[in-house]
Structure 1
Amino acid sequence: MEDIDWDTDAARWLNPPPEVVREPGPSGGGPLVVTSAEGSDFWRRTGYGFVRDTGHALLTAFPADSAVEVSFIAAFDELYDQAGVLVRVDERTWVKAGVEMSDGVPQLGAVVTREWSDWSLAPVPAWAGREVTVRASRSGDALTVRARREQEPWRMVRLAPLARDAKAFAGPFCCSPQRSGLRVRFIRFATGAADTSLH
């Protein structure tokens, strides 16, 4: 995987956040701390009836047979605080995957949207406050999403359809549907070749 510099022209903000601070690092550029806007979210219709396309995402090109990884600190306090990877074709076709606060604990989950959103979650209380990496890999007509805490083994999160010829973009995202001022510390953003196998 090859790191993407936070300041590169190769990545652009979808819905720029209220505040972005780059922390100092050993080689001049460290983690990126992103502060979310009140009510920021990605969702389409299912169950709630509304459409939200206001979440913050730093997106780069995501061609066929490639992968993207995002690492961040999963330090969330309030309902629906979330961060991870967004893969986006357009406002009606996208996948977000990562850690989200729900039922009082961090949850590993994904939302797959093709005009309508669906949502899946699994509790990961031991991931609270820890470094989490989410990896989205595009191969053939499929998007494979995995995640892990620090250097633990990868966990399968989702296998979803993504058309071979779709022009897609991907990168780190964060949202805070119930409040303003969520601060997410993103550690790394990288791209590389697609995974060679499902597991």
Structure 2
Amino acid sequence: MSGDFYWINEPQQWRDAQGKIEVLTDGNTDFWRKTWYGFERFSGHGFVRNVTGDFTFQVRIQAHFSALYDQAGVLLVADEQNWLKAGIEFNDGAPAIGSVLTQGFSDWATGIFTGNAGDFWLRLSRKGDALRLQYSTDGRIWPLLRLCHFPHPHCAVGVMCCTPERRGLAVSFTEMALTPLLEKDLHDLS
């Protein structure tokens, strides 16, 4: 699965252990543009592959989040000003599930994560100009996390991890699958 993937900001320490991507994050890494903080960062680690058209990308993520803004999850990138990242991010003393949609400016939508933040799944589906983002605590039930407009047909999709305030978050990405679009009703949680 990882043969067609490439790095955006390759970390100093990583390995592909028979399809299990293991990363140790570099310091001061992040993806963010302008909103609230004023700064622009495109230094996070992204392991992605090029895509066009409709698709579904799914992955299992394991990490021990402990420092402010530790994060890991999925990434969809058109360019440095247009991208989506989503997953677990540590803030306010706890891991939260959330997403950042950036189209010139970043937004941040976050909420309480009720499962084990050290072991979770994400699924991103693109249908035309729409993105459907889902998460799972068990790999079987997939609540909706975000539905949004993203009018960029040529992108790269994959996984990401960042540590804006430190270095050394160990993250494992497994069960990565890029498939044709899963044609399911919006409220079908399977």
Aligned partners of 2:8 and 2:21: how far apart in 1? 16
Distance 2:57 2:115 in 1: 24
Q: How many residues of Structure 1 are paired with residues of Structure 2 in the alignment?
A: 186
- Paired residue secondary structure (1:116): coil
CA contact (8 A) 1:56 1:175 kept: yes
Q: What do the CA deviations read for 1:156-189 (whole angstroms, capped 9, x no partner)?
A: 11111122x6211100100000001111111222
4+ residue runs over 3 A deviation: none
User: Does the 8 A contact of 1:132 with 1:150 survive in 2?
Assistant: yes
Aligned residue identity for 2:136: R
Instruction: Report the counterpart of residue 9 of structure 2 in structure 1.
Output: 15
1:100-135 alpha-carbon deviations (Å, 9 max, x no partner) = 111111111000000000001111153232x21111
Q: Which residue of 2 aligns with 1:26?
A: none
1:94 matched to 2:88? The reply is no
> Does 2:89 align with 1:118?
no
Instruction: Specify the alignment match of 2:180 in structure 1.
Output: 193
The amino acid across from 2:39 in the alignment is: F
Larger mean CA deviation between 50-59 and 184-193 belongs to 184-193
Q: Give yes or no for the alignment of 1:161 onto 2:149.
A: yes
Q: 1:141 aligns with which of 118, 129, 144?
A: 129
Of 30, 35, 46, 1:41 maps to 30
* TM-score, structure 2 as length reference: 0.93
Task: Report the alpha carbon displacement of residue 72 of structure 1 after superposing the two structures with TM.
Answer: 1.0
1:179 aligns with 2:173: no
After superposing the two structures, state which structure 1 stretch, 59-68 or 115-124, moved more: 59-68
User: Helix, strand or coil for the counterpart of 1:17?
Assistant: coil
Q: Which amino acid aligns with 1:127?
A: N
- Provide the rounded CA distance (Å) in 1 between the counterparts of 2:32 and 2:125: 22
State whether residues 88 and 117 of structure 2, in contact with CA within 8 Å, keep that contact through their aligned partners in structure 1.
Answer: no
Cα RMSD of the aligned pairs, angstroms, is: 1.4
TM-score of the aligned structures, taking structure 1 as reference length: 0.89
Once the two structures are superposed, what CA deviation does each residue of 1:75-100 show, in whole Å capped at 9, x if it has no partner?
Answer: 21111100100000000000001111
Q: Which moved more, 1:44-53 or 1:152-161?
A: 152-161
> Which amino acid in structure 2 is aligned with residue 148 of structure 1?
S
- TM-superposed CA distance for 1:152, in Å, is 4.2
Opposite residue 121 of structure 2, the aligned amino acid is: T
Q: Take 2:49 and 2:177, find their aligned partners in 1: how far apart are those partners?
A: 10
- Rounded Cα–Cα distance in structure 2 between residues aligned with 1:75 and 1:150: 17
Q: Is the 8 A contact 2:14 2:21 kept in 1?
A: yes
